[in-house]
Structure 1
Amino acid sequence: MQDKSAPLKQRHTAKRIFTRLQEEYPELLSVGYRSICRYVSEKKKELYKESRGYIPLSHPSGEAQVDFGKAMFYENDTAINGHYLSLSFPYSNAAYTQVFKGENQECLLEGLKTIFEYMGKVPYKIWFDNLSAAVVLGKNKTRSLVKQFEQFSLHYGFEATFCNPNSGHEKGHVENKIGYVRRNMFVPIPRFTSLEDYNKELLLKSDSDMDRKHYIKDVKISDLFEKDKKQMINLPIGC
């Protein structure tokens, strides 16, 4: 089984298996999603144990959360234990993702810049974990922005807000989205020849993923995301 050699968090879920069966073998699929769930649950008990928890959060439209996740991919048949940046929007449950080979400041700023310019908008407020690429933690929990990051935030005009240490609930949406992206976009493990081209493809996939209903609001994510964008700020002149 290919999943057994894949990273734990990059293995197939019942939903992903069912989606792939619908896409790849529609003429042979004769059972429903619940049957697939039961079968996968039994098989996973035999192979390995998994548990996941999710914390639903509500936020004003127009603000975002950002974080990095880890995923394996193949570039020109070379296996790379890479990273991906997700910028998620808790109000609409939309998100954009970009893949990198590292998790440094250059990757953070390049990923945000690419997504801003693709959207044509900038979230007015972005929540960050205490990423070393953005902030330095001092004594008594004081923070100071890394110079390049501070210049970047001033250029694009967004408010950078940082979570308190050991307070993952403050950015619970993006943490859930990190897992969702890994399971739905990086399973099976991606193979590509050009990282730049693959990141362009990911932006389009992110758009397509919005063509479904919000898990609570019973409205298309794409419609809610339009409300998000109305509350965002414009790109600076020259971008």
Structure 2
Amino acid sequence: MDEHDAQGVTYSMVRAYIFHRRPEIRVEEGRGPPQAFVPQTHRPGDEAEVDFGDVWIHLNGVSTKVFLFSLRLSFSGKAVHKIFASCGQEAFLEGHVHALEVLGGVPRGKVRYDNLRAAVSQVLGRTRGRVESDRWTAFRSHFSINSFYCNPGIDGAHEKGGVEGQIGWFRRNHLVPVPTVTSLAELNAMVERWDEEDDARRIMQRALTIGEMFAVERPLLVPLPEEDFETGLVSSLRVNRYSQVSVRTNHYSVPVRLIGRMVRVVLHASELVVYDAHKEVARHERLIAKGGSRLVLDHYLEALVRKPGLQS
């Protein structure tokens, strides 16, 4: 600052500059090779890339951070998106199910991933070896997904640049200005329409549109399995004296007749379903914030009849 009067320059700006400039100096002095990128071609129906991106929306008048799941086929550039309240394992699995159903099949070759916690429990040193989570291993075995994990950090981003660029394009072209919605279901209906409209666009100088190239690719995908896969997290919980179950710091109501009993709770990315034996007894939209409650008045009607003083 004293030598150059750099009043508007921060330490982080200098550090970022040095990070990029240092390898350039090594190349200029003949002490290292320049960074090169090799153009790639992809066989139809062979490869895909998956990632999450952060998105801001106005949800019921409140600025809210949500997460955009994207699965992109490498040959055609056909991408399927879905927005979730979190990027946890439930959203990761549900995003796959939605995308594969829209595409009508599974890529035959590699599907490239970051080292997401939803899939990877441990990165084994500097190798490509990964310890996968049990649910993810079961899921990809069910759908015959051949996973390929990119290197950590910025180097790994270059290994799946297609989906990285796709998320940025989608965000700039469809989520600016920031959308205002009353629910994620409303927003995802818009996302599905945008995905269909994007089939008509061309990527760079390609002669065919995304939709035309996907028509070539779709018959070459591996057919989907006939049986469904339960993507929700299943747990057995006891109903407390307030006729609620507690799930990840949030509380959801159930009928008062179930107080003290064990129920089966299935937590999905966007909703929570409660079963008494095999019968569904409650369904709630999943809460985004922590420490909240979602109550349904009908669940307490029996108690209000017995205790009319509560009605006041």
Q: TM-score, normalised by structure 2?
A: 0.56
Q: Report the counterpart of residue 185 of structure 1 in structure 2.
A: 174
Please tell me the residue identity of whatever aligns with 2:139: F
Question: Residues 82 and 56 (structure 1 numbering): CA distance in 2 closer, same or farther, change over 3 Å?
Answer: farther
Taking the aligned partners of 1:94 and 1:139, their CA distance within structure 2 comes to 32
Question: Do the aligned partners of 2:112 and 2:148 also contact (CA within 8 Å) in 1?
Answer: yes
Q: Deviations over 1:60-118 (max 9, x none)?
A: 22221011111101222121111111111221122111111211111111111112122
Please tell me the residue identity of whatever aligns with 1:58: T
Please tell me the residue identity of whatever aligns with 2:42: H
Please tell me the residue identity of whatever aligns with 2:117: S
Q: TM-score, normalised by structure 1?
A: 0.72
Taking the aligned partners of 1:123 and 1:226, their CA distance within structure 2 comes to 14
Higher relative contact order (CA 8 A, sep 6+): 1
Taking the aligned partners of 1:200 and 1:234, their CA distance within structure 2 comes to 25
Q: Deviations over 1:23-46 (max 9, x none)?
A: xxxxxxxxxxxxxxxxxxxxxxxx
The Cα of 1:217 is off from its aligned counterpart by 2.0
Name the larger-Rg structure. 2
Taking the aligned partners of 1:238 and 1:146, their CA distance within structure 2 comes to 21
More helix by share: 1
1:130 is aligned to 2:120: no
Match of 1:103 among 87, 92, 115: 87
Taking the aligned partners of 1:138 and 1:93, their CA distance within structure 2 comes to 29
Taking the aligned partners of 2:99 and 2:56, their CA distance within structure 1 comes to 22
Question: Do the aligned partners of 2:124 and 2:131 also contact (CA within 8 Å) in 1?
Answer: no
1:68 is aligned to 2:52: yes
Please tell me the residue identity of whatever aligns with 1:161: F
SS at 2:125's partner residue?
Answer: helix
Task: Let me know the Cα RMSD of the aligned residues.
Answer: 2.0
Question: Do the aligned partners of 1:214 and 1:221 also contact (CA within 8 Å) in 2?
Answer: yes
The Cα of 1:56 is off from its aligned counterpart by 6.5
Structure 2 gaps, min length 5? 1-36, 229-312
Question: Residues 58 and 144 (structure 1 numbering): CA distance in 2 closer, same or farther, change over 3 Å?
Answer: same
More strand by share: 2
The Cα of 1:200 is off from its aligned counterpart by 2.9
Taking the aligned partners of 2:98 and 2:185, their CA distance within structure 1 comes to 11
The ranges of structure 1 where at least 4 consecutive aligned residues each deviate by more than 6 angstroms after the TM superposition are none
Corresponding residue pairs, total: 186
SS at 1:160's partner residue?
Answer: strand
SS at 2:195's partner residue?
Answer: helix
Taking the aligned partners of 1:171 and 1:179, their CA distance within structure 2 comes to 13
SS at 2:200's partner residue?
Answer: coil
Taking the aligned partners of 2:132 and 2:193, their CA distance within structure 1 comes to 32
Question: Residues 220 and 138 (structure 1 numbering): CA distance in 2 closer, same or farther, change over 3 Å?
Answer: closer
Alignment of 1:141-220 (within 5 A): 141=126, 142-165=129-152, 166-220=155-209
